[in-house]
Chains A and B, each alone.
Chain A
Amino acid sequence: MNNFHPFVLPFTIGTVVLFIILFALFVKWLLQMDKTQKTTALKNIISFKTLKAVWEAVRECLFHRNIFRTNPVLGYMHLSFAFGWFLLIVIGKIETTFYSGTFWDEFWLAIFFRFFEDTSVTFSGSELFTQLMDACLLFVLSGIVLAVIKRFYSKIYGMKKTTKHTIVDKIALTSLWCIFPLRLLAESATAGIKHNGGFLTQSLGNLLVGLPLEHITLPLWWMYSIALCLFFLFMPFTRYMHIFTEMLLVFLRKWGVTENNQKTGYTNIELNACSRCGICIDVCPLNTEAGINNVQSVYFIKNTRYGTLTKEIADNCLMCGRCVQACPVGIESTLIRQIMRKKECFNNKDYYQYIPDKEEKQISEEKEVIYFAGCMSHITVSIPEAMKHIFAAANVKYWYMDENETICCGRPLMQQGLDKQAETLRQKNTEKILSSSIRTLVTSCPICYKSFTEEYHLPIEVLHHTQYIDRLIRQGRIKVNRSDIKVTYHDPCELGRGCKIYEEPRHVLHAVAELMNVKMEKENSLCCGYNLANTQLELEDQMKIRNAAINNLTAPKPDTVITSCPMCKRALQHGINVNIKDIAEIVDENIAK
């Protein structure tokens, strides 16, 4: 066999072992998915969605478009690695197919082709292939140079923090970095002897001619093969696992699979799909404002994956969703965090003590909407007050469901991992809601809104008051005057990133005031810092986060800052004297008489 030499063995063994492990893990994770996840996936496999997934896999896993968007240099680095390597394999394979006249040649031939190439054999395009392969190699090498620089000077990437590595990661990383420089050297050395190199390898080969190439060449090919082998063997246990897992994730997601409320195989797939690009560290307010830099998604995911998660890390997160928004892989890390926070609590009684025993009387009159202010609105009383006026102005008959006895929607407990307790509250509220025959529920709190729409499965329409007011204005049921007050709008995390409601509040504000833009808005809006999801954060840090949000909102010097969440309102109100109002209040003030 003239296409064999013992140095191909490390590579071959590495590749075989890698694919066995990958296969085993993927099968395991897929089987670990729960029933609904499996059926959802199966239902959608044969559909247009699969094609879309293919496209997305190419776009994200090869071209890394999302990383590109956030950070072009980082994007290029990932692109040159992934796409460059991919091209090396594909073009290399085509080249050897032409060379040997069959697709079914030894699979390592494409990897070590220059070594085995018989220069007396000519085949069509051989010169072109040689140059192309060199170009690809150069492409990958440029990425490596960037990666090395990034490791040492992450600042030039506009990243304040780069991720920390485990030992296994370090071995994999070193072997990965060695692969392509070794390939370059090996091919150049061979080119020095056989004159079969391209513009890059041949030029380098010519430079090497003075050296005893016969003695150097073979060891270089051995080292190249061993570097590949090491990388492959360690890969499943490192961040590089994301290369393949991300593709699997793209398909599952396109088929409609999502996180459930417990850890499943899908969770494992998400955990392994994190490339540790570190983008989530830079957008996290805990890092940028409070200097806490060991709890972000990347660390949370890493610790969860390796089973080293501590309560401090799991609980120190505002669930503001900025990281999820920025994550190029789209990992739902806040949902995973919620799952990992799950805890049993023995003293259940305390959670419901405040719920009245006696049922309220049935509401008999015909009413149009149920109004649920939410616990938070009860301490920002001007919000429900304003809503009362708006209902009156629009002539809407409503049932103020939690006027006297508020039962929490349960979401804050959910976020703390107290599922059972939250479920009990949901049941109580559901009973209350369904005891009336009213078909629309309006709430003033984005937390309640998210809970009602995603966790309750109510058979009635649920609206946040921004949506409802928008509707009243559009339908002409309330008439408003446009005042010349200048306002900026704070997108609450739960309403914006959480429920994707960005347009309705803006539409309403345009109708009643002069809305100014702020630097960080909509998807990029800053967290007010008072989110109930974080039980670890010190008040001082909370204030730093809040102040950053205030600075963002007051930069264009508005008369008033508007938000649509009672909690945000409270947070901003507690800050330095800023005039802050809920959207309902400013509408109420501008209703045409």
Chain B
Amino acid sequence: MNHFDVIIIGGGPAGMQAAIRLGNFNYKTLIIEKEKSIGGKLTQWDKLFPDFYSAEELLQNLTRQLNENVSILTEQEVKDIENTSENEWTVKTADGQYSSKALLIASGYDFFNAKRKEEFGYGIYPNVITSVELEAMIKNGKITTLDGRIPQKIAYLQCVGSRDEKVGNHYCSINCCICAVKQSIEVKELLPDVEQYCFYMDLRMAGQHYEELYRTSQEKYHVQFIRGRISEAASTFDNRIQIKAENTLLSTPLKLTVDLFVLMVGMEASETTRFISQKFNISNEYGFLQSKQRYCSDNETEIKGLFLAGTCKRPMTIPKSLKDGDAAANAIFDYLKNR
């Protein structure tokens, strides 16, 4: 039986939350997920800011709430989508074809490919890593350099691939500032002797309890925040990373050698998101999907029966994505009822 009321493309937080709601509304719902399991980027996270809530617990919580109306297909990449008739959507994957009355896109984001900022040496020097890789180490409870040493000094660099007109991303990714604060605290707890430096353009602590956490990271965990851009990174003979930067508050050049250099990578439209935004011609300038109207119909699109949720629209935090999934389910409910 390949016909559903709603198909959701992407089983991340937004897609899952929408599925929970739609299932509760008694709609037959299908989630199509390209990875092995649902959860999206949540699966790569250990604890969430600002309260260190466990990502795994959240995921379990969400999974538990999915009822029998929701089917899940994993490891299925969307090959094509068609708006077959007025009220009918067809989604083709490598293995099959599925149809529905409404389609919800929750195809999310990808991390910025740090190799595109070659000056930071990612992919070239072993001890330059991304925030995602650092999170994996935190999750494992073991932070080492590639050659197995315990790092003495770690530097973080904010806004890698965000707010950078050279790579064409003018926007802020919202999550990374506070994420670096969170990670630096976790790292310090694992490695009490480590010295940490965080390079930023400006720190955006725009959520509840973010500012407090930022304060704690300085007062209690002694993370040093330096306003300045890093111009280049180079490897030393012993595989440490030498950073050249400018402290823009003091207007002085600065050189620093660290054991780990963490790039806080930003968010870009994922490949599926790009594919869909181009296919239906609802792309914004960065390849994210454009909703009908930001204020009152942020889950609808110009196309009937096509809905959006979560970070396929723009960078969002996890709570925001979840709420957006809820909102999308409500919008779909209204649509199906009045159809």
Contact = CB atoms under 8 A, between A and B. Distances in A.
Interface of A: 354, 378-382, 385, 539, 543, 569-570, 573-575, 577
A9 B1 CA distance: 100
B118 A380 contact: yes
14 contacts: A354-B253, A378-B232, A380-B118, A381-B119, A381-B121, A381-B234, A382-B118, A382-B123, A539-B166, A570-B118, A573-B118, A574-B116, A574-B167, A575-B168
Contact of A385 (B124, B167, B168): B124
Interface in B121-159: 121, 123-125
Nearest to A571: B166
A539 B170 CA distance: 12
Contacts of B121: 381
Nearest to A582: B118
A381 B124 contact: yes
B2 to A, nearest CB: 34
Contacts of A382: 118, 123-124
Contacts of B123: 382
B113 A381 contact: no
A279 B78 CA distance: 48
Contact of A381 (B125, B166, B167): B125
Nearest to B268: A577
A358 to B, nearest CB: 15
Contacts of B119: 378-381
A532 B50 CA distance: 43
Interface string B154-181: 0000000000011110000000000000
Contacts of A385: 124, 235
Nearest to A378: B232
Nearest to A406: B232
Nearest to A577: B113
B118 A569 contact: yes
A61 to B, nearest CB: 47
A466 to B, nearest CB: 19
A378 B234 contact: yes
Given A539-B165, A574-B116, 6 more contacts: A378-B119, A379-B231, A381-B119, A381-B233, A569-B118, A574-B168
A415 B223 CA distance: 44
Given A378-B232, A378-B234, A573 B116 contact: yes
The 4 A-B residue pairs whose C-beta atoms are closest, nearest first, are A379-B119, A382-B124, A380-B118, A574-B167
Given A381-B121, A570-B118, A543 B234 contact: no
A554 to B, nearest CB: 16
Interface string B220-254: 00000000000111110000000000000000010
B100 to A, nearest CB: 31
A569 B116 CA distance: 10
Q: Which of B116, B231, B233 has the most CB of A within 10 A?
A: B116
A381 B168 contact: no
Contacts of B234: 378, 381
Contacts of B116: 573-574, 577
A503 to B, nearest CB: 27
A502 to B, nearest CB: 25
Contacts of B165: 539
A543 B169 CA distance: 12
Contacts of A378: 119, 232, 234
A271 to B, nearest CB: 37
A227 B115 CA distance: 67
A382 B116 CA distance: 12
A543 B233 contact: no
Contact of A574 (B124, B166, B253): B166
A569 to B, nearest CB: 7
Contacts of B168: 543, 574-575
Nearest to A576: B168
A292 B129 CA distance: 41
Contact of A379 (B118, B125, B253): B118
Contacts of A574: 116, 166-168
Contacts of A543: 168
Nearest to B119: A379
A195 to B, nearest CB: 74
Q: Which of A354, A378, A539 has the most CB of B within 10 A?
A: A378
Q: Which of B168, B231, B233 has the most CB of A within 10 A?
A: B168
Contact of B118 (A354, A381, A539): A381
Nearest to B124: A382
A569 B121 CA distance: 14
Nearest to A383: B118
A577 B269 CA distance: 12
A577 B115 CA distance: 10
Nearest to B253: A354
Q: Which of B165, B166, B233, B253 has the most CB of A within 10 A?
A: B166
Q: Which of A378, A379, A385, A570 has the most CB of B within 10 A?
A: A379
Nearest to A540: B165
B120 to A, nearest CB: 9
B283 to A, nearest CB: 13
A380 B234 CA distance: 10
Nearest to A543: B168
Nearest to A570: B118
B304 to A, nearest CB: 31
A378 B233 CA distance: 8
Nearest to B287: A576
Interface string B71-95: 0000000000000000000000000
Contacts of B113: 577
Nearest to B233: A381
A354 B253 CA distance: 10
Contacts of B166: 539, 574
B14 to A, nearest CB: 24
Contacts of A577: 113, 116
A354 B252 CA distance: 12
Contacts of A539: 165-166
Contacts of B233: 381
A589 to B, nearest CB: 13
B199 to A, nearest CB: 16
A362 to B, nearest CB: 21
A579 to B, nearest CB: 9
